[in-house]
Structure 1
Amino acid sequence: MSIGYKIRKFFSNHVETKDRHEDKKLQTHYYKASKDSVMKVIETYFQSKDTYSINAVSKEHGEISATTKKGKRVFVVATIIMVRPYHTAVDFSVTTESLLQIDFGHSSKVIQELYEHMNKELQLITEH
């Protein structure tokens, strides 16, 4: 990771995951599961946390959006795409609402927490 990326990440209020992300922790995760089961894990996670409130669930588009009710205001969009049978990609987009448009890495930490939970619930595919 370059110094420039680290500075941008620290002073930004928005982070997205992608396949070839500079930060390995923020690369797209692939799971050996169906799209529906992955969506259920994410939906259950948000429902089980009293800090989150689900805004919308679109099974057709493979998206779930949620916001926090307590603490720092965070808006999360989870995108779930079944690449092939039992090979499902999960990406997150997280924006932290703040006056200065700076979250000091909070958005990145939210994504890492989400992936950690999913890695416990589903089988991660390391090669794709």
Structure 2
Amino acid sequence: MSILRKMKVFLSTGQETSENHYDDDLKSHYYKTTAKKAIEAVENTFSKQPGATVTSVSEDRGEISIVIDKPKKALMIITIVSVRPYETAIDFNVSADTKLASDFGFSRKLIIDAYEKLNKALPFIGTGLYPK
């Protein structure tokens, strides 16, 4: 990642994963599971995390919202999409609640930590499998 992109990440108040993200750590992750089991795994993972509260689960839309209170405040929206039978994509959108113009990479770190936990809980296939 170039220095300018690192500065952009460092000076932002939120991060989002996507299929074609320039940062390999923030590319969509794919798991060999159904959407329903992925939603359950995400719920279980974050319900055990101190400082995190699952505020909304929409199985129909495949979205989960989580409020992070510690160490900093943030809102995390997790989107779960079944791509094929037993192939599910999980994406994150994190917005940090800060009075400053930067979260100093906190939102990026939240996403990376969440993916690491999910990689242990679900059978991981890969990242960015369907680039345009």
Q: Which residue of 1 aligns with 2:40?
A: 40
The whole-number CA distance in structure 2 between the counterparts of 1:36 and 1:78 is 13
Residue 78 (str. 1) matches residue 87 (str. 2): no
Q: Which residue of 2 aligns with 1:10?
A: 10
Q: Secondary structure at the match of 1:126?
A: strand
The whole-number CA distance in structure 2 between the counterparts of 1:43 and 1:56 is 10
Identity %: 38
Which residue identity lines up with residue 31 of structure 2 in the other structure?
Y
Show CA shifts across 1:69-105 (max 9, x none): 3320010000000001001000000111100131110
Structure 2: runs of 5+ lacking an equivalent: none
The whole-number CA distance in structure 1 between the counterparts of 2:126 and 2:88 is 12
Question: How big is the shift at 1:67?
Answer: 0.5
Which residue identity lines up with residue 49 of structure 1 in the other structure?
Q
Which residue identity lines up with residue 95 of structure 2 in the other structure?
T
Q: Secondary structure at the match of 2:64?
A: strand
More deviation, 5-14/48-57: 48-57
The whole-number CA distance in structure 1 between the counterparts of 2:106 and 2:20 is 21
Taking the TM superposition and a 5 Å limit, the aligned residue runs for 1:41-60 are: 41-60=41-60
The whole-number CA distance in structure 2 between the counterparts of 1:116 and 1:126 is 12
Q: Secondary structure at the match of 2:99?
A: coil
Structure 1: runs of 5+ lacking an equivalent: none
The whole-number CA distance in structure 2 between the counterparts of 1:3 and 1:50 is 33
Question: How big is the shift at 1:54?
Answer: 1.2
Which residue identity lines up with residue 77 of structure 1 in the other structure?
I
Task: Give the ranges of 4+ consecutive aligned residues of structure 1 lying more than 2 Å apart after TM superposition.
Answer: none
The RMSD of aligned alpha carbons is 1.1
